[in-house]
Chain A
């Protein structure tokens, strides 16, 4: 019944709202978090019609109006959109570089705009330099799916005068690569690669680095609570601001991919104290980072 109603709604939708943009937020299932995100976006975009719909209630993408603005919130939504190449353009959210590489490889459909959820490497490097100006050698562990980020990381490090000490970590049960990178570097920078940084490995990585009185920067804000020193991150408010700007533009002008220009800094004060560092002022750190951020 709900399906039928949904279908009816979609069919009637273009008739009902001719002047405003229609924004469809899509996710795997009907979750409170996704609904409240859609509601928050509606508040922000007063003129637009913003709705959340689970994948299961949607027709194939080609049956949707090409003027519809699609926002995909998860993997199921992406698969649904990719089931056909015809259909409206879409903003894919909550996707990291590593996930995109795994899911899409080099094949990036033209109708997708990828809004990266992992902290940009250059920003993380600048945060590292800001908090630990004496650190020169940046230790980086990488796995099979994050290897492709190294070149970009090295390019970002060069103008900052930082050296990337990269170490492949193929087997998480064997900690020797972790020990090696800790021995050869001044600070550890986490790539947002869930193969390497997850609930199972967090303890080993954090205890080993702290055992050597070394800080971990990143890989994301969730790790800061676990014991990383700091990370940049963008939360829902940041993303709403980013979407606000994107939705003002016609979909044809959406970028192929984008890191959010709105962000904050999260720091773990207890860890900073135990490592003998100055307390982290998130506001000041974010401002200092912004001052150095290049604008296109």
Chain B
């Protein structure tokens, strides 16, 4: 073709968004009937303008890590402390707090919280989502109750599954490896006019840790199966409906840990395994009223079913009404009497002394010393309904208001923990304003009001100021307050064991009521966090480098630190903790084949209760090198390390090699993952040990 004239760029300035009527009539501008898709309400702040620290684990990282579980992936997040109570009970804490519990982090799957309010925990192994369905994980490092509600105290893990529209075709994956790893994944995606769906099924099996500190086999295997359905429907050009169903069933082995109170008891059960079932359903309706105003309504229902019935043995005296009465009057003294039943200490209080004598007589001559075994039922069932409405209004090009309301109903049912059923209702109102004052300054602030029937109300503010040196380089200062509501267990526990099927049969005893009973205080306040952060986020696009740095100082007051045990459980708000330090996150794409990633966190933790500082490694981090070698070959080398989590060092190097083959119209990926521990320490707790420093697993994945 010819161009007969030199180019003449027209200097007449057209409105940036081509919205003017003159343009709308222009015969030569195409596609004026297109919907405005990336509206001011949909577009988010650029990385440099985010009001806090954020780590995004994208699909490339997730795949390259070879991780089987979300907690292992979270090792790639600076400041995240990954521990294990057992191999099927991971605990994830940001910066720290209790090593065996992770109660201070919010975890969401596509906007649905999987934090179990009843027992204040996240069952990472039981979350009904397959890693293969995850598109990315966004970790908001820091408190953010304004955006995510109470319990977003120290961090928020936002798991986003792949859109059904991006899941078409068939995917099949099998993995085998050391420690009995035997996983599968299968998914099918379908599309039709105005809708898409993905159905996936997955399963996992492994043997867990190999042995405990005494060298005996460790009972912590797991087996699980999941099924997920995710559907996205286009109702109209400005409305979508998303709905998801998820179900998971499985069993988690638990060792028998009951220690008999009374002497001469050698009989014991052999496990305390849990059968875990999770069900979830959610529905979300999005509507764009116009390019400045959008709204969504999301409702979800979840059910967590944990069946844990196990056989325990102790002396028949455990079920003595007299001992129970003694416990209720003075639990310390009752424990002394029980532990020294052959010669129990006397007491000045005549009532206690009379009960002591009665118990002693039962032990000596009324069959109290006979060993009996029975079924302990520690099962729980929790149900949650959640309804949220959120409105996004772009008031001007530079001012956006997010506001909304949330209602949540939680119910926990457990004979052992709650002596029946307990429920709670929580209301939440939130609002956040984002103001781009000029091209350098962004001010984002908001507040949340929450009222819970069991734990009262709270108001938490948050303010962030970002200064953009250029659009890709920003400094930030953030102050936020956040709260965590005490969960039903901490506040309202009514803990007693009824033991069934006693053997040998005890006449007159029927179902045994174990003498130890514990009540929660019922008047606990919310834990309160004050967090301060200074940070820098920069993208050096010419060399492909992204960098994020931050320093922080966080204080938690009114902290509920007491471990969840049934002997003398007295929860209180009497503890405090402080976390300060710095974090680095670097992601560097060197050319088209290499990607380097580095994270590091220095955390200085202090806590009034020693338990709350043990889950903080002073130095922790990760390093990764991902390379595409061409011809379908790729490799990923990762290092993970922390200097002391619960006093145990942890260092590991992973190498994953993968080869992608194109067979007709399908893709086959064969991969091998070699994991090498660089130390001989147990993992988090003394009993968590592997036989060998090395572990190998292989996987094959077919897509067509």
Contacts and interface: CB of A to CB of B under 8 A. Distances in A.
Interface of A: 32-34, 36-37, 73, 93-94, 114, 116-117, 132-134, 136-137, 173-176, 178-179, 183, 192, 197-199, 202-204, 206-208, 210-211, 220-227, 233-239, 241-242, 245-246, 249, 255-259, 261-280, 282-283, 286-287, 289-290, 293, 295-296
A221 B24 CA distance: 11
Nearest to B194: A200
A225 B166 CA distance: 24
Interface of B: 1-14, 16-19, 23, 25-40, 42-49, 60, 135, 165-166, 168-169, 191-193, 237, 397, 436, 439, 470-472, 539, 541-542, 544, 592
Contacts of B544: 134
A75 to B, nearest CB: 14
A280 B3 contact: no
A114 B3 CA distance: 12
Contacts of B168: 173-176
A226 B27 contact: no
25 contacts: A32-B25, A94-B28, A174-B168, A176-B169, A183-B60, A199-B31, A199-B34, A202-B37, A204-B165, A210-B42, A222-B18, A226-B36, A227-B36, A227-B38, A233-B28, A235-B10, A236-B27, A242-B5, A255-B4, A257-B2, A265-B9, A270-B17, A274-B46, A276-B48, A277-B472
B534 to A, nearest CB: 20
Nearest to A185: B592
Contacts of A137: 592
Nearest to A275: B46
Given A174-B169, A175-B166, A264-B12, A277 B471 contact: yes
A175 B195 CA distance: 12
A267 B10 CA distance: 14
A227 B10 contact: no
A256 B36 contact: no
Given A174-B191, A255-B1, A280-B16, A270 B397 contact: yes
Given A206-B37, A256-B1, A283-B11, A221 B18 contact: yes
Contact of A202 (B9, B34, B45): B34
A296 B5 CA distance: 8
A268 B31 CA distance: 15
Contact of A117 (B18, B23, B28, B192): B28
Contacts of B13: 282-283
Contact of A278 (B23, B135, B470): B470
A208 to B, nearest CB: 7
B629 to A, nearest CB: 15
**Residue from the set B28, B30, B592 with the largest chain A CB neighbour count within 10 Å:** B28
Contacts of A296: 2-4
B17 A94 contact: no
A77 B30 CA distance: 18
B42 to A, nearest CB: 8
Nearest to B44: A274
Contacts of A37: 27
B701 to A, nearest CB: 15
Chain B binding surface SS class? loop
Contacts of A221: 18, 29-31
B407 to A, nearest CB: 29
Contacts of B23: 235
A102 to B, nearest CB: 16
A146 B13 CA distance: 31
B26 A235 contact: yes
A97 to B, nearest CB: 9
3 interchain residue pairs of minimum CB distance: A222-B31, A227-B38, A286-B9
Contact of B7 (A133, A224, A256, A295): A295
Contacts of A202: 34-35, 37
Contacts of B542: 133-134
Contacts of A263: 7-10
B592 A136 contact: yes
Contacts of A176: 166, 168-169
A245 B4 contact: yes
A198 B471 CA distance: 31
A261 B8 contact: yes
Nearest to A221: B29
A175 B14 contact: no
B4 A220 contact: no
A276 B37 contact: no
Given A226-B38, A259-B1, A220 B10 contact: no
